[in-house]
Structure 1
């Protein structure tokens, strides 16, 4: 008889973690043995303990999930990671896969898709949703359509999406545990790279490219 897979859930919402634990307990041969509420806590637990899988959110206090994922790859390169995020696939999925994720799902997706992804990632395989697969094929057929936002760093991209969502610099700074000056610097870099002048242009660009 095989032992259940030990899973670490990293998400800053306790209610969501509890719901996910119940889903896992009743649908797959896995056991949630640990939880983390922010990026630093995830890294500490991954360093100290052994897990068969990590379910990781992208938007957590402090360091972004993409940054955390990149560091996890250097700590435990063989740890399967399934990213489960509120952000649409077109926003973060490709960045997550490049950083080392084995799968990417949005939190509002069908339960059956989550179960399928859990099974596949637990086996050490990649899970790509039908929607993302279609997008990837489309990009291959249109290689010249390289969106400008792809030149942004992961943190710059995160700040862009938050600005376009209407959040003031002070709020963004608080949510990311960074200074207002640092967020303003990121904003300056974003404007320069995208050749734009203000938040209104950034917001319009984000909407046109379905980033918000």
Structure 2
């Protein structure tokens, strides 16, 4: 290499030559051997602790970001995708609650729903809320490719693994569930089954969103539902049973 550290043309790959030029522009000597730093055991322990602190902080920040993204529409607001893969089991708000908002933001966006719950009622609810396709999370690559191709082409896709029929909540079971709840909690359950968000339910009932969230947590405990997703599913089943009762 020449004494002025210039990069000989044609002797190295363009990417390496560009990296070399950036080093020179920053006042660095690419030919200088790396400096070897000897650390005492105490210094090494301090560095390890500092790295552990950084990792813990990063993990906490990423978890907070994940929850925030799950509850808001930042990605849709900043991008214009042709399609969206949506997990129904999101932190904060469920995918079913997000679907109407997604449709309002981008009516032409095709949404393929992924879920671990292979349930006919949930599939119908997702499609009714604006999804274009519905597949299980453990679907094979071949099925997922078929689903993506269909959805991006504007065609509805329903996995063959979704039952043709499903066991619907009977009227007795519906009334038994609602009987454990206060009238206000029953109203929240019915609105939840219609896909209303906590904010929308609060606005309709004249309550704050945090109050509705508290009621939802209370309902889960009363009905023995382990997750927010189970609450959404139970609300949908009750709503379907109520519609069937009205139709009879």
| TM-score scaled by length of structure 2 | 0.43
Q: Which has the higher contact order (CA 8 A, sep 6+)?
A: 1
Name the structure with the higher strand share.
Answer: 1
| TM-score scaled by length of structure 1 | 0.50
